[in-house]
């Protein structure tokens, strides 16, 4: 499939796929088609056995400045209901392989929500995070009030959501929203480094472990522990587990096949 608003590379690096948002003049504003394209690319990479980790990025000036305001401006509540754009977001969230957001510049509104839907965020020191929807007399709708609050806590989330203020990459790092801050020229490289490290692990164990960490957001502790245990047992059904433990005993590097 050819895309209009994103660029994709299945083998950007060995086992690492890249999705680049590509509406630079509009600061990568997320229109409906762009979101559909991200969903489609993620599904394609999820099904490609060569891909073990996926990076979503924008450009130096913007990861994404939010949902496309011009596209939303005249919509009614019923238009929004019928369009049902969050079905697309739900599909994005269901990606089984790890997804890393490599963020530089503006990461606002739906852009910040997209980054938070990813599993980890690597940021340039020029990144700015915010949920400025309140200034448009709306509010976050793709997880901003929930994921931001879980990541940074009530005090900062409430302030960001109610005032629309932006926070810097350093502030985001301190608040626990992101994994790394690096100089602007290194943010994609750093995300690739992280992706490659994950890609070296057993894809089976990575998939089960990602699923288990995400479960912590949806369940109480007891149910979460039970879920974790099942996935832990499941790891022992893989050839990779035998290889990993064998390699340790034989003092050599493990080679994982995802089986
Ligand atoms: C549509 C956008 C846009 C957006 C920027 N542009 N953000 N178009 N939707 N979200 C367009 C501008 O209209 C302009 O195009 C071009 O990109 C460059 O933007 P400027 O404003 O000229 O740049 P600058 O002065 O540097 O200001 C950057 C900015 C500002 C601070 C990021 O653009 C801004 O405030 N953008 C809106 C941020 C926002 O409110 N996001 C939340 C959206 S609501 P033209 O053609 O006019 O020159 C949302 C809800 C999510 O995300 C709900 C779930 C899906």
| Residue 156 pLDDT grade (very low, low, confident, very high; cuts 50, 70, 90) | very high
Q: Which of 230, 223, 231 is nearest to 204 (CA)?
A: 231
| Residue 215 pLDDT grade (very low, low, confident, very high; cuts 50, 70, 90) | very high
Which residues are within 8 A (CB) of 255 and not within 5 positions of it... i.e. 6 or more apart? Answer: 243, 247
| pLDDT at position 22 | 98
Active-site residue flag, 125: no
Q: How far is CA 215 from CA 92, 94, 179, 222, in A?
A: 16, 12, 20, 11
Atom of ligand 1 nearest to the CA of 89: 55
Q: What is the pLDDT of residues 218-233, one digit of tens each?
A: 999 999 999 999 999 9
Report the pLDDT averaged over residues 170-192: 98
Active-site residue flag, 110: yes
The strand pair at 6-13 and 53-57 is best described as unpaired
| pLDDT at position 88 | 95
pLDDT over 80 at 139, yes or no: yes
What is the CB < 6 Å shell around ligand 1?
26-27, 29, 65-70, 106, 108-110, 132-133, 136, 141-142
pLDDT over 80 at 1, yes or no: no
Q: How far is ligand 1, taken at its centre, from the CA of residue 92, in Å? A: 23
| pLDDT at position 151 | 97
pLDDT over 90 at 141, yes or no: yes
Burial grade of 23 (CB within 10 A; 0-12, 13-18, 19 or more): buried
Which residues are within 8 A (CB) of 176 and not within 5 positions of it... i.e. 6 or more apart? Answer: 151, 152, 153
Q: How far is CA 12 from CA 16, 29, 97, 167, in A?
A: 6, 24, 16, 30
How far from each other are the two terminal CA atoms of the chain, in whole angstroms?
A: 28
Q: What is the pLDDT of residues 57-114, one digit of tens each?
A: 999 999 999 999 999 999 999 999 999 999 999 999 999 999 999 999 999 999 999 9
As a whole number of angstroms, the distance between CA 164 and CA 229 comes to 41
Q: Which of 7, 90, 99 is nearest to 51 (CA)?
A: 99
Active-site residue flag, 113: yes
Q: How far is ligand 1, taken at its centre, from the CA of residue 155, in Å? A: 26
Average pLDDT, the chain: 97
Active-site residue flag, 209: no
As a whole number of angstroms, the distance between CA 43 and CA 171 comes to 33
């Amino acid at each position: 499939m050819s895309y209009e608003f994103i660029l994709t590379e299945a083998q950007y690096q060995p086992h690492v796929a890249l999705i680049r948002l590509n509406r630079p003049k509009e600061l990568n504003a997320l229109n409906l088609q762009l979101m559909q394209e991200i969903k489609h690319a993620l599904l394609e990479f999820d099904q490609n056995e060569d891909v073990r980790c996926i990076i979503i990025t924008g450009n130096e000036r913007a990861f994404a400045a939010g949902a496309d305001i011009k596209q939303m401006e005249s919509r009614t509540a019923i238009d929004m209901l019928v369009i049902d754009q969050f079905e697309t977001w739900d599909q994005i969230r269901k990606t089984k392989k790890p997804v890393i957001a490599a963020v530089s510049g503006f990461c606002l509104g739906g852009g910040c929500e997209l980054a938070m839907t990813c599993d980890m965020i690597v940021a340039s020191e020029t990144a700015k995070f915010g949920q400025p929807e309140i200034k448009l007399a709306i509010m976050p709708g793709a997880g901003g009030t929930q994921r931001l609050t879980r990541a940074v806590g009530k005090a900062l989330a409430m302030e960001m959501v109610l005032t629309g203020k932006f926070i810097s990459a350093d502030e985001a790092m301190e608040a626990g929203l992101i994994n790394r801050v690096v100089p602007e020229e290194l943010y994609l490289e750093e995300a690739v480094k992280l992706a490659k490290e994950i890609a070296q692990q057993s894809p089976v164990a990575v998939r089960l472990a990602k699923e288990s960490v995400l479960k912590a957001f949806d369940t109480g502790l007891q149910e979460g522990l039970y879920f974790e245990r099942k996935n832990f047992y499941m790891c022992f059904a893989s050839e990779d587990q035998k290889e990993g433990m064998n390699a340790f005993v034989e003092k050599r590097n493990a080679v994982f096949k995802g089986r």
